[in-house]
Amino acid sequence: MKTGMRLEEYTKALLEKRKAEVIAEQRNDALDTELTSPPGATSTEEIRLFNEYMEQANLFKIANALPEKKKSLMLKRFFKMKRKQQVVIQAKIGEENQQKNGKVSAVGRDFVMLTNLKDRYWLPYTSITSANIPSGIPVFSNSHQYYLYDNDLRKKLLRNFGETVSRRDVLIQQFYEESLLTNLRAWKETWVKVQTGKETFIGKIKDTIDQHIILHCFNAHHKILLKDVQVVTALRLVSLFAMFMDGSFRKQFDQRKTKE
């Protein structure tokens, strides 16, 4: 468009218009560039705090409305907040109360898995009486770990979600809430000790089907009802050798023959 103005006059007029313009406040919030609308009318830190409060308030409302599910809901929420952190659990196993210490490795809809330097435990929520953090351990509201943004993983999740998640145990725990039945199925061929209210079974996990855990120990096999399980402990070779030496396997076979 021709204005009939010289370059100097045009530049001067353009600068004057520029000074008169109202420049909107620029925000550096990354969410503004990714979402079509802001998550709320308040600041982002206030929205985040409110979301955490709302989640906890809803949890207590649901727990009060469903007293029979209150224990599992509270334990699941606590363990998710303490994922990858040290916890101490009091559990009733048989006729005695036992204490289990370890790092929260997996949180399911009806169980938690703890690991430490020596042992790995699967504890159903029904056998847990209380859970806390050890004294002297710093309190973290969330899992204290670093997250790396993986563009390649993002593409795989978008294009082939099911296959990508099924190949990595970490992603399975992130996207799904496993049950004790499905989690133990992923640990086939692992030697474990299963304790119920009255008996203790030692063997290798062969399968979990029809709400039962199937263990094989040499020529013997055991089919244990899942709802009776109070704790499952993974056994190392050293532990197996010690049990073999002190006669634990022989006692198990003798008890089975007596029942038959």
Q: Are 133 and 82 in contact (CB under 8 A)?
A: yes
- Give the number of other Cβ atoms within 10 Å of residue 124's Cβ: 21
The confidence score (pLDDT) of residue 247 equals 61
The confidence score (pLDDT) of residue 140 equals 65
The confidence score (pLDDT) of residue 32 equals 47
The pLDDT confidence band at residue 1, using thresholds 50, 70 and 90, is: low
Q: Could you give the percent of the chain with pLDDT greater than 70?
A: 79
Residue 138 has pLDDT above 50, yes or no: yes
d(CA 115, CA 132): 16
Residue 180 has pLDDT above 50, yes or no: yes
Mean per-residue pLDDT, 146-160: 75
Higher pLDDT, 179 or 254: 179
Residue 107 has pLDDT above 80, yes or no: yes
Mean per-residue pLDDT, 245-258: 57
Average pLDDT of the chain is 81
Among 64-73, 121-130, 132-141, 183-192, the minimum mean pLDDT is found in: 132-141
Cβ contacts of residue 84 below 8 Å, gap of 6+?
103, 104, 105, 143, 144, 145
The confidence score (pLDDT) of residue 111 equals 93
The confidence score (pLDDT) of residue 174 equals 73
d(CA 212, CA 88): 28
Nearest to 87 by CA among 126, 56, 51, 123: 123
Q: What is the pLDDT of residues 48-104, one digit of tens each?
A: 888 889 988 999 999 999 999 999 999 999 998 888 889 999 999 888 899 999 999
d(CA 72, CA 60): 12
The confidence score (pLDDT) of residue 260 equals 45
Mean per-residue pLDDT, 191-214: 89
Residue 232 has pLDDT above 90, yes or no: yes
The confidence score (pLDDT) of residue 158 equals 85
pTM of the entire structure? 0.71
d(CA 211, CA 226): 5
